[in-house]
Amino acid sequence: MKIQHIFFDLDNTIWDHRKNAYLTIKDLFEKEEISLKYTIDFEEFHSVYHEINESLWEKIRDGIIDKEYLRKHRFYDTFSHFNVDDEKLSMYFEEHFLDRILNHNELVEGAAYILEYLKAKNYTLHIISNGFKEVTERKCILSGIDKYFQTITSADTVGVRKPRPEIFEYSLSLSDATKENSILIGDDWIADVVGAQNFGMDVIFFDVLNENKEEEGLKVIKHLLQIKDYL
C-alpha cells in the first residue's frame, strides 16, 4: 500500500533541541557569570550537561525515573560534577531553561525544505513527540512549522511515551491513517525505530549521531534531505 501519512518525531528530528538547548544554557551561563564565579569553562559545562541530560531522558523513556526527577537533577548533577553543590543555583537554571529555550527556534538542517517538499507531494504530516506536552505545540508554532502538521501528539496527552504502542495507536486514530499507509521518521533508536517496528508500521531511522545500526532492510538517513530517497 502506498504511504500517505508521515509521522515525525519532533526533538532533534525537526526542532533542533540540541542546538536550542546549547544556546539557552549559554545565555544563562553568561548572565550568571558562572565562568567568572566558579572558573568553569562553558564548553566543558555544556558537554557534561549534555551527557547527564541524555542519560536522564533515557531513564524516563525506560520508566526508571519521572520528569520531576530529571528537572531536579540535570543541572544539579552537572554543577556537582564541577564541585559546585548548589540546589538554588541549579533550580534557577532549570526554571529559566524551560522559560527561555523557546526563545531559540533553530530547526534541524534541511527541515524547512523537506517539510515543504513532502507537503508539495501531498503527504499528510503529523508529529508524535515524547517531550513535555506544554511545550510541543509552542515549539511548532514559534518555529513556524505548525502549518505543516495535521495532528500533533504529545506523550502526556496519551499518558504513555514512545516506544509504547498505545501512543502510535492514539496518534493514528486522530486521522484516517493506518499502519499500512504510514511511516515514522525519528532519531531515537528505541523510542522511534523499535517503537514503530513493534507497533507494525514502517520507519526511517534518522541516524544523526552516527550510531550506524545494522539491520536487514532498515531505512536509514544521515541528513533530512535523504528522505527524498524514500518518499
CB of 83 to Mg ion, least distance (A): 32
Give the residue with the Cβ less far from Mg ion, 9 or 94.
9
Q: Which is closer to Mg ion, CB of 40 or CB of 155?
A: 155
Tell me, what DSSP letter sits at residue 160? -
Structure-derived torsion over alpha carbons of residues 101, 161, 158, 156, reported in degrees to the nearest 10: -30
Q: Which is nearer to Mg ion, 11 or 94 (CB)?
A: 11
Cell 548533577 sits on residue: 77
Cell, residue 138: 509552542
Choose between 90 and 105: whose C-beta lies nearer to Mg ion. 105
* Measured distance CA(8)–CA(203) in Å, rounded: 10
Which runs of consecutive H residues, i.e. helices, occur in the chain?
Answer: 17-31, 34-38, 42-61, 67-81, 87-100, 111-120, 133-142, 155-158, 165-173, 195-199
The residues of the shown chain that bind Mg ion, judged by CB under 5 A, are 9, 11-12, 187-188
Smallest distance, Å, CB 13 to Mg ion? 5
CB nearer to Mg ion: give 63 or 95: 63
Contacts of 156 (CB under 8 A, 6+ apart): 132, 133, 134
The phi, psi pair for 124, rounded to 5°, reads -100, 125
